[in-house]
Amino acid sequence: MKTFLDDNFLLNSKTAETLYHQFSKSLPIIDYHNHLIPEQIVNDTQFENISQVWLNGDHYKWRAMRANGVDEKYITGDASDKDKFLKWAETVPYTLRNPLYHWTHLELQRYFGIKDLLSPRTAEKIYEETAAKLATPGYSVRGLLKMMNVEVVCTTDDPIDSLNFHQQFAQEQESFKMLPAFRPDKAMNSDDVTALNAYIDQVEAVTNTSIGSFSAYLDALKARHDFFAENGCSVSDHGLEQIYAEDYTDQEIGAIFEKIRANQTLTYSENLKFKSAMLVQFAEWDHEKGWVQQYHLGALRNNNARMLRVNGPDTGWDSIGDFSQARALSKFLNRLDNEDRLTKTILYNLNPADNELIATMIGNFNDGSIKGKIQFGSAWWFLDQKDGMTKQLNALSNMGLLSRLVGMLTDSRSFLSFPRHEYFRRLVCDIFGEDVEKGELPNDIEWIGKIVGDISYHNAKEYFNF
């Protein structure tokens, strides 16, 4: 019987152990998509306790606590940090077979050297021990990133963001880079015309322009796109239910924009046309600058209206959606490719039923100009766990080139989430190791080790313009 979370955790063969420890473990981390707060990195924030760095904003843990009958007071409410931690400690023993059980103990080990299992019995001791370490200089925000050998972090930033913290950080001589990513979801969200109008007003203020037409809106957003590029940005990102690829004319979009500025409700067709036009514009700007564009597809958000009113968005009320992805995605990518305006693209899929769909779609637009130009991104959100990662890796292996995958990302709001890269790397090594030991791959450790290292780090290093 193996020991829980030992040095060979998730590695189920000697070959897997060799691949991980010799070719993957020590490589730096390029985290090209996360939701870390730039201000905390610039200020090198020192958290007072583990609740602040571990529980705040972590809706994975919040959902588990709610399922375990924990009152909202101890999740997003006004309970003390310590009381919230104690409620999480009560929940952890009930998370067996949920990835949270692995992540919780992996993070306690990697950051704090704590091998005790978190439970009500150990909670007080762990809370005090982690608080004492978090008070030391090596456990500041930057210290935590260096501890995990992080080379690049790309935050997620709205087009109207001032990027002042990125500008400050760029002036420093630090061991890692913090770069912005252009996330224009609010700029195209015509589902809520009132909110979109308010957002357009903010774009006016930031760009010091008057926006009374669609062309003026595009000019203002293009100025922000240019501004991001001037400040080191080379990636964009979109969080969408699905790709929008309706046919439209410039005249139609101009008229739709006038309705938006008049705060008039759009028809279903007008809504789709507007979103489609915006996606094309963003994609063309990305191609113009040689950026990497990312599309996170398939989340059904804000399902619980009552709790949305209480807590707001991004607090744990989202799930996997069953949207139709193939035809619109094909049409969108084909339009860009046909006009030679398709840049490097990463597609993240949230519905495992669509894994093979995405794995085959990328092959339609990998044209030989760039290695792995169109990527099936690593398992995302609800799927970034052992089963979900394995299914994504197998689908890509069967229908594309796993060897060209640009690896893992945290997609997290927590500075303690970086062992997810380790988790991913261990699974990759286990998959290759198993195939070698079954005789399904040759016992060429140097070559397979190179492939494992590429997936872990080197592919991302080459793919992104960092």
pLDDT at 52: 97
Residue 338 falls inside a structural domain: yes
**Rounded (10°) angle between helices 123-134 and 81-91:** 130
Give the pLDDT confidence score for residue 145 in this predicted structure.
98
Average pLDDT of the chain, as a whole number? 97
- Both 63 and 208 in a single domain? no
Is the model's pLDDT at 321 over the cut of 90?
yes
When comparing pLDDT for 465 and 236, which is higher? 236
Domain CATH number, residue 229: 3.20.20.140
Sheet architecture: strand order including 177-179: 29-31, 150-154, 177-179
Residue 411, classed as helix, strand or coil, is: coil
What is the average pLDDT across 18-46?
Answer: 98
Mark which of 139, 174, 192 sits at the end of a domain: 139
Mean pLDDT within 132-146: 97
Confidence of residue 465 (pLDDT cuts 50, 70, 90): confident
In this structure, is residue 396 part of a structural domain? yes
Instruction: Look at residue 294 and tell me whether its pLDDT is greater than 90.
Output: yes
Residues 6+ apart with CB under 8 A from 11: 17, 20, 426, 429, 430, 433
Check whether residue 302 and residue 341 sit in a common domain.
Answer: yes
Range of 368's domain? 14-47+149-464
Number of domains in the chain: 2
Label residue 432 exposed, middle or buried (CB < 10 Å: 0-12, 13-18, 19+).
buried
Please give the Cα distance from 6 to 17 (Å, whole number).
12
pLDDT given at position 100: 97
**pLDDT tier at 136, thresholds 50, 70, 90:** very high
pLDDT tens string 101-127: 999 999 999 999 999 999 999 999 999
Q: Where are the alpha helices (DSSP H) in 312-443?
A: 326-338, 355-361, 386-399, 419-437
In CATH, what number is assigned to the domain containing residue 70? 1.10.2020.10
The answer on 419 and 361 residing in a single domain is yes
Q: Render the burial of 198-233: b for 16+ CB within 10 Å, e for the rest.
A: ebbeebbebbeeebeebebbbebbbbbbebbbebbb
Q: Are residues 54 and 118 in the same domain?
A: yes
Query: For residue 43, what pLDDT band results from cuts at 50, 70 and 90?
Result: very high
- Residues 218 and 235 occupy one common structural domain: yes
Q: How many helices (H) and strands (E) does the chain have?
A: 20, 9
Shared-domain flag, residues 165 and 300: yes
| 25 falls within a domain | yes
Q: Which long-range contacts (CB under 8 A, 24 or more apart) does 409-412 make?
A: 409/31, 409/32, 409/33, 409/34, 409/377, 409/378, 410/31, 410/33, 410/34, 411/33, 411/34, 411/35, 411/380, 411/381, 411/384, 412/34, 412/35, 412/36, 412/58
Q: What per-residue confidence (pLDDT) applies to 228?
A: 98
Residue at 2 is within a domain: no
Cβ-based neighbour number of residue 173 at 10 Å: 4
What DSSP character marks residue 264?
P
pLDDT band at 345 (very low <50, low <70, confident <90, very high): very high
Are 201 and 275 members of one domain? Answer: yes
Whether the pTM exceeds 0.95: the reply is: yes
In a domain, 6, yes or no: no
Burial class (CB in 10 A: 0-12, 13-18, 19+), 52: middle
Token code pair at residue 234: 């080379």
Q: Is residue 323 part of a domain?
A: yes
262-282 pLDDT tens trace: 999 999 999 999 999 999 999
The mean pLDDT value for 146-155 works out to 98
Question: CA 28, 30, 34, 39 torsion: positive or negative?
Answer: positive
Write the CB contacts of 45 (distance below 8 Å, at least 6 apart in sequence).
Answer: 39, 140, 141
Domain boundary among 108, 139, 170: 139
In angstroms, rounded to a whole number, what is the distance separating the alpha carbons of residues 165 and 154? Answer: 13
Tell me whether residue 1 is in a domain: no
Domain end marker among 139, 170, 204: 139
Task: Please answer whether residues 29 and 151 qualify as being in contact, where contact means their C-beta atoms are separated by less than 8 angstroms.
Answer: yes
